[in-house]
């Protein structure tokens, strides 16, 4: 039994390293799936550990008074970019959400099927002002109506996140 477990573990690490090498040369999102503590997980970007991730309330407390903060966060996915999977939003509680972009546009997450799932992200949270043009672009990505897009007429100050790695738990 131990030999079988060792062989599986070695195979999984080999498969992950091969996928990571292949994803560096491709703009397509590949996600190795591994089972950790009976939970299937998919990795995007850098392979990261899920332990030590802050929950939204602890994140907000640490972010208070900061312009930026490097950390790991665990939250529920609200939505992803329907065009390419090049961003996602996370539920931060109390009706708030946070936009997550991916470092250097280097990887993407699935366009569908992950809303409501738990994500662990690692990278940098930062305060930013999003321009009207950018907010309209994001609205187009989520397939908003022309009326909804036209109604965007003020910039938005928010906390955003640039992720270097994402884990989506199944």
Give the start-to-end residue ranges of the domains of the chain: 2-169
Residue 119 is predicted with a pLDDT of 98
Kindly tell me if the per-residue pLDDT of 18 is higher than 80: no
The highest-level CATH class for domain 2-169 is mainly beta
3-state secondary structure of 170: coil
Res. 79: pLDDT tops 80: yes
pLDDT for the residue numbered 167: 97
Mean pLDDT, the chain, rounded, equals 82
Summarize pLDDT for 83-111 with one digit per residue, the tens.
899 999 999 999 999 999 999 999 999 99
SS3 content of the chain, % helix, strand, coil (to 5): 30, 40, 30
Q: Where are the beta strands (DSSP E) in the chain?
A: 33-36, 39-45, 68-80, 87-93, 96-102, 118-130, 156-169
Residues 128-139 pLDDT 10s = 998 999 899 988
**Predicted TM-score (pTM) of this structure:** 0.71
């Amino acid at each position: 039994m131990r030999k079988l477990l060792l062989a599986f573990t070695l195979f999984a690490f080999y498969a992950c390293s091969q996928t990571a090498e292949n994803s560096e040369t491709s703009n397509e999102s590949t996600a190795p799936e591994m089972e950790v503590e009976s939970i299937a997980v998919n990795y995007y970007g850098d392979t990261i550990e899920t332990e030590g991730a802050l929950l939204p309330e602890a994140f907000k407390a640490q972010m208070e008074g900061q312009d930026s903060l490097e950390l790991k966060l665990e939250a529920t996915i609200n939505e992803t970019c329907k065009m390419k999977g090049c961003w996602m939003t996370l539920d931060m509680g109390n009706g708030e959400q946070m936009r997550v972009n991916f470092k250097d546009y280097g990887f993407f997450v699935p366009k569908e099927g992950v809303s409501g799932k738990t994500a662990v992200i690692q990278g940098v949270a930062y305060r930013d002002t999003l321009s009207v043009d950018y907010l309209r672009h994001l609205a187009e990505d989520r397939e908003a109506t022309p009326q909804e897009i036209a109604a965007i007429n003020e910039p938005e100050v928010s906390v955003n996140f640039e992720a270097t790695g994402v884990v989506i738990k199944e």
